[in-house]
Amino acid sequence: MFQTSVFAVACLGAAWAGAASVPGPQRVTLTGEVIDSWCQTTGIMFALGTAHHQCAIWCAVGGIPVGLRTDDGTLYTILRVDGDQRNVANPRLLTIQTHQVSITADLIERDGNRFLLIDQVADDHGIVNRTHGDYGIQPFGE
């Protein structure tokens, strides 16, 4: 019984130490293109700008996580926008898909992944990445 109690206390201590070492969110301001994470990650089709706008909306409606790609190519997964707790098929994200936006958010980094809890879309510049002339309209052409 004593050994079980010592083991339980040791496990609790290890769990507490692990939880204490997890960093909290970091406040960030970022600018980038709102992206469809599936096509962006897999490279299944050209996944940026006007060429990909309709496909990106379909993927978001279908539950594919929406992300933000900054100019340096860093990818972030958006977990929340404007205080809305829905992250799957979030209507707010659908209205800014493939747009260039500036956001203020809490950044959570875990195991090499970057997650954003967006408080505010400060600037929405619309779709600035005009790619349909080079790549056609994805996925079915014009």
**What per-residue confidence (pLDDT) applies to 57?**
84
How many domains does the structure of the chain reveal? 1
Check which CATH number belongs to the domain holding 29 and give it.
Answer: 2.40.50
Inside any domain, residue 142: no
CA distance linking residue 134 with residue 142, whole number of Å:
12
**What per-residue confidence (pLDDT) applies to 75?**
93
Q: How many CB atoms lie within 10 A of CB 80?
A: 19
Peptide bond into 23 cis (omega under 30): no
**What per-residue confidence (pLDDT) applies to 93?**
85
Domain range for 103 is: 24-135
Here the tokens at position 73 are 């190519």
**What per-residue confidence (pLDDT) applies to 94?**
85
Instruction: Give the global pTM.
Output: 0.74
Inside any domain, residue 115: yes
Per-run averaged pLDDT (10 residues), the chain, 142 residues:
56 56 89 87 67 79 90 93 72 86 96 93 82 58 54
- Kindly list the distances between the CA atom of residue 26 and the CA atoms of 86, 106, 114, 115, in Å, as whole numbers in the listed order: 21, 5, 11, 11
**What per-residue confidence (pLDDT) applies to 117?**
93
